């Protein structure tokens, strides 16, 4: 029998991987996990500094989630929600999400991934504007460095070149505006407040240039994740929302990473004062144990859709596995554990420990900026600290530091030269210290 590595190289088509180099470098085989740590084939342990892909909030080996899945699998392993069929796990989960999310008169539409929920949001917005007799109001604005997924429409929304180059993307009707990264994009002499105002003015200019009657929605992650953990200035979203309201442009909050405590409150929208018309969640919803995502839609968005679907005869959208009963049961148990263990309180206590540790790294010669909030953060590596000069991309400094950190037993992810931290929300102070200590060794070696 071939080894796992051999079979992987022979047959597994890897996402987000340098496919040309993969046959030589091979895979990293993870066998199991426990708490905030995962283990490789050789038994070496790693602190998972990114909670897998920003998702495993409760860490590995949470037996209650295993039990919830097993129980639901025995009872009703599959049923769907088409043609008004329903089951208790999806219904109760919808009820809970509608109660938790800062979205008025919410209705919840389930899918299996963040990409699917964001893609569905675009479809609903288009469907709604057709229903309202505004067939030209269809353009969607996202931000440079945004990450909203990889379907044809959401990869077009995503503002990262790697997701579009070679794929014939973006599709039309998708626009981008500047991101709220003050340290990188602020102009000489500009305060953070002035920078936030400038971003809002740029958005207004874009809407006016395109024609307000053609612009339907604005997508935003409260904290941009895959774009390099970009925390907006305090007043940014208030200014942006004033522009959106003025031109009747809907706000979609992509809470796929920031949902369920990551920024210290239940949703990033609450931390940064967003009042979204639609919200998407995934990842932390089930602590990553099973695929499930949700699109939470305000009543005023739902009503015209309901009327239109009534006329057509049926709402022509839905995924076979959307609201899967086993995923929904695991999500319900996840939400129960968040409440019982006061995960928000824990993030409130432990988040500052991570943030202080990251800010301390700013003394390091390679670190230009350390940033973050709650249990999400990043350090951005620079060639020249004073001038904030980026490294030559060919050096792939971020990837090199991440590889060194991995050798020291901590798994992180480089977004260009920004290295992201988003550990499981259950992480302890001792594990944060250990993670940052191991990371500092990697930085010293790369210097
Ligand atoms: N939105 C955000 C903010 C994300 O970070 C991600 C994935 O990382 C997605 C959407 C896409 O989610 P998925 O990979 O589940 O399709």
**137-176: pLDDT as tens digits:** 999 999 999 999 999 999 999 999 999 999 999 999 999 9
CATH ID of 66-339, from 2.120.10.80, 3.90.1570.10, 3.30.420.10, 3.40.640.10:
3.40.640.10
Dihedral sign computed on CA atoms, order 221, 118, 416, 394:
negative
Which atom of ligand 1 lies nearest, measured to the CA of 225? 5
Which atom of ligand 1 lies nearest, measured to the CA of 113? 15
- Is 4-61+342-446 a domain of CATH 3.40.640.10? no
Whether ligand 1 lies within 6 angstroms of the CB of 220 is answered as no
From ligand 1's centre to the CA of 330, what distance in Å?
19
Whether ligand 1 lies within 6 angstroms of the CB of 225 is answered as yes
From ligand 1's centre to the CA of 294, what distance in Å?
12
Please give the order of strands across the beta sheet that includes 376-381.
367-373, 376-381, 418-421, 413-415
Please return the burial class of 27, using the count of CB atoms within 10 Å of its CB with bins 0-12, 13-18 and 19+: middle
Query: Is 0.90 exceeded by the ipTM?
Result: yes
From ligand 1's centre to the CA of 447, what distance in Å?
32
Q: Which residues of the chain have pLDDT under 50?
A: none
The per-residue pLDDT for range 347-374, each reduced to its tens digit, is: 999 999 999 999 999 999 999 999 999 9
Q: Give me 375's structure tokens.
A: 């249990």
Whether ligand 1 lies within 6 angstroms of the CB of 369 is answered as no
Coil, strand, or helix at residue 119?
A: helix
Whether ligand 1 lies within 6 angstroms of the CB of 37 is answered as no
Range 163-197 burial, b when 16+ CB lie within 10 A, else e:
beeeeebbeebbbbbbbbbbeebbeeeeebeebbb
Q: How far apart are CA 271 and CA 276, in angstroms?
A: 13
CB of 439 within 8 A of CB of 405? yes
Q: Give me 175's structure tokens.
A: 């626009």
Q: Which pLDDT belongs to residue 418?
A: 97
Q: Which pLDDT belongs to residue 105?
A: 98
CB of 364 within 8 A of CB of 443? yes
Q: Which pLDDT belongs to residue 447?
A: 85
Checking 361-368 for CB contacts under 8 A at 24+ apart, the result is 361/436, 361/439, 361/440, 361/443, 364/440, 364/443, 364/444, 364/447, 365/447, 366/397, 366/401, 366/443, 366/446, 366/447, 367/443, 368/183
Domain coordinates of the chain in residue numbers? 4-61+342-446, 66-339
Residue position matching structure tokens 């432990």: 350
Name the residue of 142, 219, 256 whose CB sits within 8 Å of the most ligand 1 atoms, as the mutation to test its pocket: 256
Whether ligand 1 lies within 6 angstroms of the CB of 221 is answered as yes
Global confidence as pTM: 0.98
Whether ligand 1 lies within 6 angstroms of the CB of 149 is answered as yes
Whether ligand 1 lies within 6 angstroms of the CB of 286 is answered as no
From ligand 1's centre to the CA of 175, what distance in Å?
19
Which atom of ligand 1 lies nearest, measured to the CA of 282? 15
Please give the order of strands across the beta sheet that includes 410-411.
30-34, 37-40, 45-48, 410-411
CB of 228 within 8 A of CB of 388? no
Whether ligand 1 lies within 6 angstroms of the CB of 333 is answered as no
């Amino acid at each position: 029998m071939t080894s796992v590595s051999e079979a992987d190289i022979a047959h597994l088509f890897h996402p987000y991987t340098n496919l040309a180099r993969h046959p030589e470098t091979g895979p990293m085989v993870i066998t199991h996990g426990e708490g905030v740590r995962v283990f490789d084939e050789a038994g070496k342990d790693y602190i998972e500094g990114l909670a897998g892909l920003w998702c495993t909030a409760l860490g590995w080996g949470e037996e209650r989630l295993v039990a919830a899945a097993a129980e639901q699998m025995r009872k009703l392993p599959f049923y769907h929600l088409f043609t008004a069929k329903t089951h208790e796990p999806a219904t109760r989960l919808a009820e809970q999400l509608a109660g938790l999310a800062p979205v008025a008169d919410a209705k919840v539409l389930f899918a299996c991934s963040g990409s699917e929920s964001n893609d569905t949001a675009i479809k609903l917005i288009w469907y709604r504007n057709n229903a309202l007799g505004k067939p030209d109001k269809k353009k969607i604005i996202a931000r440079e460095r945004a990450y909203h997924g990889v379907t044809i429409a959401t990869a077009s929304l995503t503002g990262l070149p790697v997701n579009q180059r070679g794929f014939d993307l973006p599709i039309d009707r998708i626009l981008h505006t500047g991101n709220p990264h003050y340290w990188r994009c602020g102009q000489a002499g500009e305060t953070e407040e002035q920078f936030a105002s400038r971003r809002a003015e740029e958005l207004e200019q874009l809407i006016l240039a395109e024609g307000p009657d053609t612009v339907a929605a604005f997508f935003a992650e409260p904290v941009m994740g895959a774009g390099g953990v970009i925390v907006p200035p305090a007043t940014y979203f208030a200014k942006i929302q004033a522009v959106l309201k003025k031109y009747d442009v809907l706000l979609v909050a992509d809470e796929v990473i920031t949902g369920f405590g990551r920024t210290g409150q239940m949703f990033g929208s609450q931390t940064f004062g967003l009042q979204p018309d639609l919200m998407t969640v995934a990842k932390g919803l089930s602590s990553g144990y099973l695929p499930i995502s949700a699109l939470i839609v305000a009543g005023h968005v739902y009503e015209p859709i309901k009327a239109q679907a009534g006329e057509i005869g049926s709402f022509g959208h839905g995924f076979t596995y959307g609201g899967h009963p086993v995923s929904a049961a695991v999500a319900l148990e996840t939400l129960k554990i968040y409440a019982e263990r006061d995960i928000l309180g824990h993030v409130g206590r432990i988040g500052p420990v991570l943030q202080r540790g990251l800010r301390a790294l700013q003394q390091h010669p390679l670190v230009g900026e350390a940033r973050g909030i709650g249990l999400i953060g990043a350090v951005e590596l620079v060639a020249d600290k004073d001038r904030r000069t980026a490294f030559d991309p060919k050096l792939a400094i971020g990837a090199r530091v991440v590889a060194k950190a991995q050798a020291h037993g901590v798994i992180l992810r480089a977004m260009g030269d920004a290295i992201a931290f988003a550990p499981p929300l259950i992480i302890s102070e001792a594990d944060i210290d250990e993670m940052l200590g191991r990371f500092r060794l990697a930085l010293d070696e790369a210097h």
